[in-house]
Amino acid sequence: MQYIHLGRSGVKVSRLCLGTMNFGPETSEADSFTVMDRALDLGINFFDTADVYGWKVGEGWTEQIVGRWLHQGGRREKIVLATKVFGRMGNWPNQSRLSALHIRRACEESLRRLGTDYIDLYQMHHIDRESPWEEVWQAMEQLVREGKILYVGSSNFAGWHLAQAQELARNRHFLGLISEQSLYNLVERTIELEVIPACTAYGIGVIPWSPLARGLLAGALKPVTVGRRADEDLKKKIEKYRPKLEAYEAFCQSMGEQPADVALAWLLHQPAVTSPIIGPRKIDQLNGAMRALALALSADQLKRLDAIFPGPGGAAPEAYAW
């Protein structure tokens, strides 16, 4: 396994992050334990979850599964544990978003479900335009002082949100954000305009979610009748991108590589990327993802991928002006 600093922080994480969103709804608890055990065996030390995962309001089903796995012992000290706050955890007004009240309560509940004394990386799952940064940072600083969280990250922030957050944190003499979890893959490259430049400038590590574009980049042209690729919405996307996917899968075949491995490898070649999130539902999907770590793409191969899936044209404003 390869390891890298998480943003500008001193902590090191594996180049692949284990996403747990499928644990519970798609993957049984027993199978989830097997996947997490195997991830640890493979050297993956970066585990990502969220209080809303499991999608039963207020239950934190996935966090509970991760917590019971950790309770077996010999695991907590080996991993960098990340979870998130923002989503609705109840029907009352202050049971969502990023008020100081909800941040504190949500953190306490995540700690209880995860069965741990501290969270390594506490991520804001979305920007909250209704809560001022002074309030957000005051709440996060207090949790750091109490030893309940060590680092703070963001998810689904715009570039200017990152800049605003970091400048306010700097004024408070606080470390601020060390990571940003964004939608990023060969198909969806919008963050190259402003999010990635902001992350690079502020030393914020990029953690791409949906690296395979919900299966679009995992050999989607191969006919299937079950699983994510059989989903009707995905079928519509396949038709939308069919010419590009045909070129992409032909290119992968010429390399002798699986499309999913090439897609992950492409992300690992992006300088701002720390660790793409893989969300295996089965053990074979986890094992298969390891190939991407050893897959070195040449400059010509990267250029060909850019030709098939062109991004926005680089960073703003040069991408659309001069």
Catalytic residue numbers?
A: 53
DSSP lists the bridge partners of residue 179 as: 153, 205
Q: Which two tokens stand for residue 97?
A: 């978003």
Kind and range of the H or E element at 29?
A: helix 29-41
Q: Which of 282, 300, 303, 278 is nearest to 291 (CA)?
A: 278
CA-to-CA separations, 133 to 98, 161, 162, in angstroms, rounded: 9, 10, 11
**First vs last C-alpha separation in the chain:** 41
Burial class (CB in 10 A: 0-12, 13-18, 19+), 221: middle
The answer to whether residues 322 and 289 touch, using CB atoms and an 8 Å cutoff, is: no
Beta-carbon-side half-sphere exposure of residue 155 (alpha carbons within 13 Å):
24
Could you give the C-alpha distances from 97 to 15, 17, 39, 150, 246, in angstroms and in order?
30, 25, 31, 20, 41
What is residue 233's DSSP assignment?
A: H
Closest C-alpha among 110, 171, 174 to residue 145: 174
For helices 133-145 and 159-171, give the axis angle rounded to 10 degrees.
Answer: 60
For the chain, counts of helices (H) and of strands (E): 11, 10
Of the CA atoms within 13 Å of residue 116, those in its CB half-sphere come to: 30
